[in-house]
Amino acid sequence: MDTDDHDITVSVNGVRYKRRVESRMLLSDFLRHDLALAGTHVGCEHGVCGACTVLLDGQPVRSCLMLAVQAETHEISTIEGLTDKDGAYHPLQQAMHDHHGLQCGYCTPGILMTMTAFLEENLSPSEDEVREALSGNLCRCTGYQNIVDAVMAAAQRMRG
Amino acid sequence: MSTRTFGEPIKRNEDRRLLTGQALFIDDVELPGLLHVAFLRSQVAHAKIRKIDVSKARQRPGVVAAYVAEDLGDYWKPGPLLVPPPPIAGIVFNQRTQVPLARDKVRHVGEPLAIIIAESRYIAEDALDDIDVELEQLPAVVDLERGLRAGSALVHDDVGSNVSAHVRQTKGNYAAAAAKADCIIKRRFRYEHGISSPIETRGVVAQWDARANQMTIWDTTQAPVFVRNGLAAMLGLNERNVRVIAPFVGGGFGPKIMMFYPEEVLLPWVSMKLNRPVKWIEDRLEHFFATTHERGQIHDAEIALSRDGKILGIKDVFLHDGGAYDPYGLTVPINSQCTLLGPYVVPNYDSTFTQVFTNLTLVTPYRGAGRQHGVFVMERLLDFAAHELKIDRAEIRRRNLIPADAFPYKNEIIYQDFQPLEYDSGNYEPVLDMALEAIGYKTFKEQQAAARAQGRHLGLGLACYVEGTGIGPYEGAKVQVQSNGKVSIATGIGTQGQGHFTVFAQIAADQLGVAVTDIDVVTGDTDQFYWGAGTFASRGAVVAGNAVNEASKVVRKKALKLASDLFECSEEDLVLEDGKVSIVGIPEKFVRLGDLANQANPMRGAVQPGTEPGLESTQYFGPPMGATANGVHAMVIEVDPRTFDLKVLKYVVVHDCGTVINPMILAGQIHGGVAQGIGNAFYEKLAFDDQGQLLNASLADYLLPTALEVPRMELGHTVTPSPLNPMGIKGAGEAGAIPVGPMFAQAIEDALDLKERGVELLEIPLSPSRVFELTRKSGQ
């Protein structure tokens, strides 16, 4: 198959990257292997498991279902940008640690990106709403209970 | 010690890297000059290979090499038998292990036919289309019973049948017991288990360094030491020249202990041949075919009871789907055979199984590892017996529990660890009582009737089980005080989320008076710790944990000895806490552990004869046999009688796994196990057609439980320490997953009055559509 290359500029976690990519390069591969931002994990490459979720202009998207060229001029946020400049946890990271919301940790970056975006929109969620929002992210280790508790606790803390 | 951490819900040391995207997983390994691998896999389940021509693929720009079986020369060999058959009289076992690339014949969909190595994975996958393949398709062996009939197609022609193994184990005399029985219940059960589906698939990176004569392999394995030993032998290298690293692994659940997968064998060979590092990461579609499954069994089982509900004996004949090759021996069906006995007194037992070769992906343990199948049969038999004898279902279980004074309890058959099946300790009745209390058993009937009056269908399920855990042979650990005062622990097992970085640190922290956060644990790197077996059978905390404890005790002793020499006082006058040794009552008189470690490695001068440098110790621990944990799960569900959709209203687990190291991590293990059990019980099913094609090989079609399906769980614990190790611990990794199936079946029957309607649920999974079919078939 013939391929064609494109020059793109993408902003990730506030840093602008200029790269030449093949048109077929997945955004997930671009982030992980071209930009060495390997915290975004790939679980299924067909948009079901949610592990590769990143934020595109603040909205959660599956980076395995997007091409890198589609991210041109957009702002991407990944797990590497979730702590503050001093490395302090986002309240949800802290709550995940406090509530044992992760085991193997492979699905965790996707869950953090999905649920931090969710909390931006709903700081007073019910448990059912949290479960609904979380249902697009598969976790095979935790049974979700501690993740749900972590999200509820983070919401409470963020409400102040 | 200032604060005891053992037994406390200490937060995990490993979380920071995982929460910030800084943990190294297999696909994060990047190396200069790295090449990428894609496999051509068979799209049919059973075929003769006429031709595989990779010459055109080799011409594609960016492709570096392409190989088929013939290119491997003498390196092409069937894999080793990992688990030999246990010493059981009259056992039949036909060893046929998997091969690196199919030659002459393919035996399951997804079996690799050729390997492409290219500058990128994209190019490698493009080149798969260039390969010219001619296969002559053969009828596939998919159905277990048909596979055993005369005239069936044969998975391995030279075996002469599709029998992989045949095993009979007996205890007492079932026929004599049955002759005296008041009640005999006989049923046929089908239990399907699925695919473990870790969110991280498998992967291998191999880097041959010709200048250093060193092979480094990153592998998503649960058993790095055995992978190193096996690959060193295959590659003709010394074991010291091979380093296997299992980095952070994104979930294991059993299939990642299988070895040697074809990819594990091939990538190091390719790296040596090309003198370049190579990487292969399994994609999700490959995972459905190329990573092992667990799948199904068919049981013809009968139970003989006295009028008062006492079990007199059980007879069971079952078929076990082994898949196309049997490198893992008989672990799964032996677990089914043994675990069926559960927490009950079963004086007479006659159990026979046949492991059947099929043209499907290999079957190896997946969390529970066959235990589910056995528990399903036993618990369902007890349900039907309770109904027949008009005894309450909790009561019939209680009447048959092994009494607390009967331990150690001998079951007189051989377990998966080749030892006689013996339960080390237990106190089962309080566990049942706690579960009944927590689920509200006494008042449930009223609750159910009240709900029914409003048109709501509630049902209760209850199931008991035991879990063999913590089996041998052994693990080891090296505990070492660093000169900065921090402690390093290395052990040979791999880790996939179980919290080893924290629980091992807790064990050492208490011995050494050091903060948990000042203890760094390394797992799964054969250059850091040379010996060990691996992470499986709920054994990491038990076996490696006890090795850490033993090594920590020796280091503690050494530290006290060094300090007593230094202070010229007796060891009894010293206290070890907050990272320093001080004299009791004179806290200002102290020496830091790090300084002692430094002094234990003098640069000049003479030492006493027999002196070992460093403040460190390496110790090993091997239990005489596995420790048996037990538990009871109970649930209340609501079923929609029109759609058969199901909601779990309450879920209770009461569990006894001996002494608990970290209750927070233990709870996580139980939660995750239950979630996998619910997927198994409710809707996970590998759907094959009669040609061995998997029809639902995507996560959009093979449904895994989400946060909407997994209910909140209430946990309770009792503690009956194991006498088999100094810390009294038992394993817990599989406990959550084991008893969910029979409980679902029981609760659905209860909710929909199925017994009264003449419908019995004799199979798992029980998706809403399947329950609909089963109730419709009965004309109800």
B499 forms bridges with which residues in the sheet?
Answer: none
Q: Does A63 touch chain B (CB under 8 A)?
A: no
Q: DSSP states of B625-694 as a string?
A: S-EEEEEEEEEEEEE-TTT--EEEEEEEEEEE-BS-S-HHHHHHHHHHHHHHHHHHHHT----B-TTS-B
Rounded CA gap, B631 and A21, in Å? Answer: 55
CATH of B295-399+407-471+624-777, one of 3.40.50.970, 3.30.1050.10, 3.30.365.10, 1.10.274.10: 3.30.365.10
For residues A75 and A10, membership in a common domain is answered with: yes
Residues A72 and A126 in one domain: no
| Distance in Å, alpha carbon of A37 to nearest chain B alpha carbon | 8
* CATH code given to domain B197-290: 3.30.365.10
Of A54, A81, A108, the residue at which a domain comes to its end is A81
- The position carrying tokens 């013996």 is B422
Tell me what pLDDT residue B3 has.
66
The pLDDT value given to residue A1: 47
Q: Which residues of A touch B19 (CB under 8 A)?
A: 89, 93, 96-97, 102, 105, 108, 112
**Nearest residue of chain A to residue B665 (CA atoms):** A100
Contact A154/A91 with Cβ under 8 angstroms?
Answer: yes
Place of tokens 């006995």: B341
Start-end of CATH 3.30.365.10 domains in chain B: 15-22+472-621, 197-290, 295-399+407-471+624-777
Interface of A with B in 107-126 (CB under 8 A): 107-109, 112
- Judgement on whether residues A9 and A75 belong to the same structural domain of the protein: yes
Are the beta carbons of B163 and B357 closer than 8 angstroms? yes
What whole-number percentage of chain B has pLDDT above 70? 99
What's residue B328's pLDDT? 96
Question: Hey, is the C-beta of A106 within 8 angstroms of any chain B C-beta?
Answer: yes
pLDDT for the residue B471: 87
C-alpha to C-alpha distance for B502 and B11, rounded to whole angstroms? 8
Under the banding of pLDDT at 50, 70 and 90, the label for residue B621 is very high
The verdict on a CB contact (< 8 Å) between A38 and B28 is yes
Answer whether B713 sits within 8 Å of A143, measured CB to CB: yes
Domains: count for chain A: 2
User: B674 in contact with A at a CB cutoff of 8 Å?
Assistant: yes
Residue of A nearest to B121 (CA): A29
In sequence order, the 6+-apart residues with CB closer than 8 A to the CB of B405 are: none
pLDDT grade for B399, boundaries at 50, 70 and 90: very high
Tell me what pLDDT residue A81 has.
97
CB–CB contact A143 B672 (8 Å): yes
CATH number, residue A141: 1.10.150.120
* Straight-line distance from the first to the last Cα atom of chain A, in angstroms, rounded to the nearest whole number: 55
Q: Does B704 touch chain A (CB under 8 A)?
A: yes
- In what helix (H) or strand (E) does residue B434 lie, and over which residues does it extend? helix B428-439
Residues A34 and A72 occupy one common structural domain:
yes
Which residues on adjacent β-strands are paired with residue B632?
Answer: B464, B654
**Are B213 and B272 spatial neighbours (Cβ–Cβ below 8 Å)?**
no
Closest CA to B498 of B528, B529, B523: B523
Q: Please enumerate in sequence order all residues whose Cβ is within 8 A of that of B621, keeping only pairs 6 or more positions apart, or say none.
A: B474, B475, B476, B543, B544, B546, B547, B549, B550, B725
Find the range with the poorest average confidence among A58-62, B130-134, B416-420, B484-488.
Answer: B416-420
Is A51 at the interface with chain B, CB within 8 A? yes
The answer to whether B630 and B473 are in contact (CB under 8 A) is no
For an interface test with A, the pick among B16, B18, B128, B281 (most A C-beta atoms closer than 10 Å) comes out as B18
Q: What are B715's strand-pairing partners?
A: B653
pLDDT at B694: 97
Provide the b/e sequence for B218-239 (b: ≥16 CB within 10 Å): bbbbbbbbbbbbbbbebbebeb
**Chain A interface includes B497 (CB < 8 A):** yes
* A74 and A97 both lie in a single domain: no
pLDDT band, residue B778 (cuts 50/70/90): low
A53 in any annotated domain: yes
Phi-psi region for residue B158, left (φ > 0), alpha (ψ -120 to 50) or beta?
alpha
In the stretch 23-52 of chain B, residues with CB closer than 8 A to chain A read 23, 25, 27-28, 30
Distance CA B683, CA B675 (A): 12
Whether the CB of B148 is below 8 Å from some CB of chain A: the reply is no
Architecture category of domain B15-22+472-621 in CATH: 2-Layer Sandwich (3.30)
Residue B147 Cα distances to B103, B144, B161, B363, B690, angstroms: 23, 5, 8, 16, 12
Among A91-95, B104-108, B132-136, B491-495, where is mean pLDDT lowest? B491-495
Distance of CA B396 to the CA centre of its chain: 31
Please name which of B634, B629, B630 lies closest in space to residue B436, comparing C-alpha atoms: B634
How near does any CA of chain B get to the CA of A60, in Å?
A: 17
3-class SS shares of chain B: helix, strand, coil, % to 5? 30, 25, 40
pLDDT value at position B586? Answer: 92
Q: Is A150 on the interface with B (CB under 8 A)?
A: no
- Mutation target among A140, A149, A152 for the B interface, most CBs of B within 10 A: A140
- Compare all CA atoms of chain A with the CA of B676 and give the residue at the minimum distance: A140
Query: Which is nearest to B309 in space by CA: B375, B388, B376, B380?
Result: B388
Q: By the 8 A CB rule, do B257 and B230 touch?
A: no
At residue B612, the pLDDT reads 85
Residues B538-548 have a mean pLDDT of 91
Contact (Cβ atoms closer than 8 angstroms) between residue B466 and residue B343: yes
CA distance A108 to chain B (A): 7
Q: Do A32 and A58 sit in the same domain of this protein?
A: yes
Burial class (CB in 10 A: 0-12, 13-18, 19+), A140: buried
Q: Per-residue pLDDT for B512 more than 70?
A: yes
CA distance B309 to B311: 6
**Cβ(B495)–Cβ(B489) under 8 Å?**
no
Mean pLDDT, chain B, integer? 95
B550-575 confidence digits (pLDDT tens): 999 999 999 999 999 999 999 999 99
Give the per-residue pLDDT at B352: 98
pLDDT of residue B547: 96
Q: Which of B19, B284, B712 sits opposite A97 (nearest CB)?
A: B19
Of B15, B200, B710, nearest to A143 by CB-CB distance is B710
Specify the CATH number for the domain of residue A62: 3.10.20.30
Q: How far is B386 from chain A (nearest CA, A)?
A: 32
Examine the domain organization and report whether A111 and A142 are in the same domain. Answer: yes
Query: Cβ(B671)–Cβ(A142) under 8 Å?
Result: yes
Three-state secondary-structure class, residue B67: strand
| Average pLDDT score over residue span B106-130 | 98
User: What CA–CA distances, in Å, run from A81 to A31, A51, B658?
Assistant: 13, 16, 42
Of A36, A56, A81, which residue is a domain's last? A81
pLDDT recorded at residue B1: 42
Q: Which two tokens stand for residue B266?
A: 């091939």
A81, A104, A121 - which closes a domain? A81
Residue B416 confidence class, pLDDT cut points 50, 70, 90 = confident
**Per residue in B69-90, is it b (16+ CB within 10 Å) or e — as a string?**
beebeebbeebeebbebbebee
Alpha carbon of B370: minimum distance to chain A alpha carbons (Å): 19
pLDDT on residue A2: 53
Mean pLDDT throughout B595-617? 88
- pTM beyond 0.95: yes
| The pLDDT value given to residue B569 | 94
Is some CB atom of chain B closer than 8 A to the CB atom of A96? yes
Contact A145 B708 (CB under 8 A): no
Q: State the average pLDDT over residues A37-53.
A: 97
B132 pLDDT above the threshold of 60 = yes
Two tokens, residue B707: 């946060």
Residue B533 has a pLDDT of 87
DSSP conformational letter for B405? G
CA gap B366, B296 in Å, rounded: 12
Inter-chain CB proximity B20 and A49 less than 8 Å: no
Say yes or no: B496 contacts chain A, CB-CB below 8 A: yes
Whether residue A66 sits in one domain with residue A97: no
B586 C-beta neighbours (distance < 10 Å), count: 12
Residue A84: which pLDDT band, with cuts at 50, 70 and 90?
Answer: very high
A70: containing domain: 5-81
pLDDT band at A160 (very low <50, low <70, confident <90, very high): confident
DSSP string for residues in B343-362: TB--S-EEEEEEEEE-SS--
Asked whether the beta carbons of B107 and B324 are under 8 A apart, the reply is yes
pLDDT of A152 higher than 90: yes
Amino acid at B438: A
Strand spans (E) along B513-626 = 519-523, 574-577, 580-583, 586-592, 616-621
